[in-house]
Amino acid sequence: MYSKEEAAKLRQDFWTSFGKSFPRKWVLYKTGVKPVQFRFYFDTKKAMVCIDIEGNEEERDKYFNRMLSVRSILNDFLPDSSFEKHYLLENGKEISRIWLEKQSVSIHDKKTWQATMEFFNENMQRIELFWQEYKDFFKEEV
């Protein structure tokens, strides 16, 4: 078990190491469609690359339904991804999320860091390739 300070230092060390190992400018929040954001997530049990859809329920429905309409295409880029319209974050906020997960890794275990970094790099690049190809579809008004 780590103290809060030790856990925070490990998190900081991981993200610094990731940035040095895979130096590039990720799209993340700059998708051009305000409710749609890409995220990395890493805790003591799993790592995830995510497409998060935030905003009010109407906005989330609109963009999540569009994601569902191109699900087979997205699955070509991100096989085995999960889709959840009502995803509850730890802070209680509800979003819609599409994600790919890697189990049996921990931000507290440096032995799993390289595999996690490779997972992040490979799969976030796939999300960005999908987005580059199909973002105009999400920008269109219905």
- pLDDT-derived band at 1 (thresholds 50, 70, 90) equals confident
Does an H or E element contain 18, and which? helix 4-21
**Confidence grade of residue 140 (pLDDT, cut at 50, 70, 90):** confident
Spatial CA neighbour of 138 closest among 55, 70, 79, 73:
70
Which among 117, 106, 88 is positioned nearest to 18, based on CA atoms? 117
What's the pLDDT at 25?
Answer: 93
pLDDT at 69 over 90: yes
Domain total of the chain: 1
Q: Which domain holds residue 53?
A: 4-139
Q: Under the phi-then-psi rule, with left for phi > 0, alpha for psi from -120 to 50, and beta for the rest, what region is 84?
A: beta
Q: What percent of the chain has pLDDT over 70?
A: 99
What residues are paired with 40 via a beta bridge? 49
Total-model pTM:
0.93
* Phi/psi at 27 (5° precision): -65, -55
**Residue 93 in 3-state DSSP?**
coil
Average pLDDT, rounded, for the chain: 95
At 28, which CATH number? 3.30.1460
In this predicted model, what pLDDT tens digit does every residue of 7-64 receive, in sequence order?
999 999 999 999 999 999 999 999 999 999 999 999 999 999 999 999 999 999 999 9
Q: Which amino acid is at 125?
A: Q
